[in-house]
Amino acid sequence: MSGFFADGLAGTVATWSAALVTIGVWAYLVGERRFFRLAQHLLAGLATGYLVLLAVREVLVPRLLQPMVSDPGANALLWPALALTVAMAGARWLPRPVVAIPVAVLVAGTAAFALGGAVAGTLLPQMAGAVLAPGLAPGAVLNGIIGLLITVLVLIAFLHGAPRRRVLVGAAGAGRWLLLAGIGGWLGFLLVSRLTLLIDRVGFLLGDWLRIIR
Amino acid sequence: MRLQGGGMAWLALLLVLAVGVIVDARETSDALQLANPDPIRSAQVRETFARLPAQALVLVAMDPDLGTYAEIRPTLRAALDDLLRGGASLAFVSVTAEGRAIAAAELERLRDLGTADEVLLDLGFVSGAEAGMVRLVGGALPVGASGPVADAIGAGGGGIGAFQMVLLVGGIDIGPRSWVEQVGTRLPALPMVAIAPTFMQPELAPYLRTGQLAGLLATVRDGATYSQAVAADRFVLLSDEPRGDRPPSSLAVLLGMLIAVGVLGRQLLGSLPGLEGPVPAAPVEEEQS
């Protein structure tokens, strides 16, 4: 049970709509593409409308326009933000050098946050976590050694263009197979994930819609 | 008229549904039980929750996506139930648009179930993805926020540092990893517990090992074990139905598996040339004399 739909008329309409769209998407499995395409368009339209509403109601008005109107002097940094927003919104009609500035700020800011976070929050702590400290249990040491071996072999598999000897060729081959095994394992997780979603939809149709199960 | 392909599939689905109605599945479809539950992850999460002080402030970072939320929904609802029952106050925030939609729906659901407004707060949507998370560290309260939870956050400095724990709810887009990288590095003492879909397990498990995550529920098995533990506690303590989801019914699991096996089998058979039947003979062109 999704628990999102109430028992009244609105809930019934929502449940029927969700059930019909679910069946419309499943119709693709049996070669019926019209309902599937309709569901796709419905999703795209609803998502776009929702995003516009979200941007206007929760970002542009409360965080940009209202502070500027209420106290323009105290929020001086919002003026360049407004200029960048206008430049992005008018990208289609403005000259490229003008549009390049907000795009550059956006890309550079995103990259800086992502890269800084990846190094400080993932790379360094994970490297520190992989170091084998003295006094570890034998199982943990073995685990660490296996992890190190796999990492080295997979890294060797990415050695392109460098002259290779026979040992390196063998190690690179082993690294490729280990990489494939890792991807296979991840695909297994993905399959279980998707199967769970399918089961949820079946449960929705049988429980929320048809009331066959509780 | 002879049914083929899609027609047969629809007929099979109708037959299954009809059998379900005839045997009255309400009496036979028990909730899914795990034959071999693994309690380690579930216990880690419950211990983290148990260490929270009385009337703890918990930030729920809701960034799941619509496509995978159904997988983690029962686990998340069990966790929210667990936290609320432990006396925690919850503040919901999202840095993704889809997460915001789901957060709004979950808040509405909690209010409909009778959860007091005094223990819930909607911090809304924060734009800027990772930059938004960093901004939340300094100040999480939106303009005009009021109520006991908002007051408590304000008294604690107004940022994420005012919270005693963060519950990270992840999806395909921005998820627990970004929170660990952006917020965990700035507030290393703040415990973070993550709930994520199964496919994110390989990505998030290393953070649990390094202690950057205090708990992680990222597989169906872990989630089901945890939900069962919470439901059992609630039943023992209050003789009450949990506010979380019921686990999926065994009939839904069986049907879902059958559909999946049927689709996979059809694809497999279709990809093997020898099983597609005899190759139709090429039309013979008549010689024109």
pLDDT digits (tens, 9 = 90+) for B66-122: 889 999 999 999 999 999 999 999 999 999 999 999 999 999 999 988 999 999 999
Residues 6+ apart with CB under 8 A from A11: A5
Cα B262 to Cα A171, B16, B125, B202, B257, distances in angstroms: 40, 13, 41, 28, 8
Confidence of residue B245 (pLDDT cuts 50, 70, 90): low
Percentage of chain A beyond pLDDT 90 is 34
Query: Cβ–Cβ contacts within 10 Å for residue B25, how many?
Result: 23
Residues B21-63: tens digit of each pLDDT: 655 555 555 556 667 778 899 999 999 999 999 999 999 999 9
Q: Among A92-101, A191-200, B76-85, name the most confident range.
A: B76-85
Q: How far is A163 from A70, CA to CA, in rounded Å?
A: 67
Look up tokens 């059958």; give the residue: B258
What residues of A are in contact with residue B175 (Cβ under 8 Å)?
Answer: none
Contact: A189, B201; criterion CB under 8 Å: yes
Total beta-carbon pairs less than 8 A apart between chain A and chain B: 156
Q: Does B134 touch chain A (CB under 8 A)?
A: yes
Look up tokens 């397990």; give the residue: B201
Q: Does B179 touch chain A (CB under 8 A)?
A: no
Per-window interface: A 35-74 vs B, CB < 8 A: 50-51, 54-55, 58-59, 62-63, 66
User: Residue B92: what are its φ and ψ, rounded to 5°?
Assistant: -100, 135
The residue with greater pLDDT, B176 or A26, is B176
The complex's ipTM works out to: 0.84
Amino acid at B282: A
pLDDT at position A205 over 80: yes
pLDDT at position A153 over 50: yes
pLDDT at position B6 over 50: yes
The residue with greater pLDDT, B37 or B1, is B37
Q: How many Cα atoms within 13 Å fall on the side-chain side of residue B185? A: 21
Residues 6+ apart with CB under 8 A from B86: B49, B50, B52, B56
The confidence score (pLDDT) of residue B239 equals 43
Q: Does B178 touch chain A (CB under 8 A)?
A: yes
Q: What is the mean pLDDT of residues A179-199?
A: 91
B6, B180, B263 member nearest A32 (Cβ): B6
The confidence score (pLDDT) of residue A8 equals 80
The confidence score (pLDDT) of residue B242 equals 47
Cα A135 to Cα A126, A139, B206, distances in angstroms: 19, 11, 21
The confidence score (pLDDT) of residue B32 equals 60
Residues 6+ apart with CB under 8 A from B144: none
Contact: B70, A207; criterion CB under 8 Å: no
pLDDT at position B216 over 90: yes
| Residues A95-109: b if buried by 16+ CB within 10 A, e if exposed | eeeebeebeeeeeee
Contact: A63, B127; criterion CB under 8 Å: yes
Look up tokens 């808040």; give the residue: B107
